[in-house]
Structure 1
């Protein structure tokens, strides 16, 4: 809680190496300059010794995956609320892609990065893997980033990414919201010697 009694969520960057510092700096650079009702509000940051902390507006219902993939018997999302979530994401992403000073490609759109609050509040969060492009720059070549099950085909073919990369991930989340189950499932053999995967739609 801040001095003004505002409740905040604290995100700790656990990786103190080069990658962790890069994600920390990227997230600050991105989120500090964007303002949209469907993007999580940045409240500040703290660096102390090896600790790297980011402070955000607290969303009391947590991330979408906690509700969407809850255990059997748990409350489920009503269809009206699912529609509001889809629309909220559909408003936030175009702002990132063309409504601010730089074109921002999120690069990791997934249920874990969609936060829910009261009164149908929907916020896109976690900009640590994002890429900033000049407004006139349509595509960009970069190393693979994101989460299996939501990766666009261009990541797998070493092609340039664009705002369409986020749109593909959005579509994967949309399918999960409609079906209420994951599109991508990790499968482990009993002897733990092999870790594979399979997709399902």
Structure 2
């Protein structure tokens, strides 16, 4: 059964380009296209695709707010953000809204297809076109050997999310989250969630509550 994709992009040329590229792969099918964030939410509720390829800057409702609504109303649908910009604030807002990844628009089309398939199968993605991985590197988690997904788990944990909430936001199973936590605790040298959250703030991997 092919992976069902909805494309949300306000520029018609890019929308058509993405649609034509995805149509070349038999394992993918575009079920709908949207030209703004509001339409993306409505069409996602109607078609319930596996993945929404979501432009960040769109009229009526931006990609971040549209992502948040989609994740609330159709939680089984995963959202992959597309953007020209990789500003850390925007990347962080997108991930917190529930996006599974943040892809830069200079991505190779073959690489985009690979990323879509990895997102669908819940696999860890490594790509130079993923801005959320660039953000992770900028905060130097590599010193502790943290992967991009472990860093995401750590951020949600520090916000007080439980395993089920983290699993839903990252589009993985609870068992995967449990494995990530075991690895996190070992790498950070802590014994529980509270200690991990405190250390995450101390290391600057997450902002302390009340920080602007």
Shorter-chain TM band = under 0.3
Scaled by the length of structure 1, what TM-score is found? 0.28
- Higher relative CO (CA 8 A, sep ≥ 6), structure 1 or 2? 1
**Greater share of helix:** 2
Scaled by the length of structure 2, what TM-score is found? 0.27
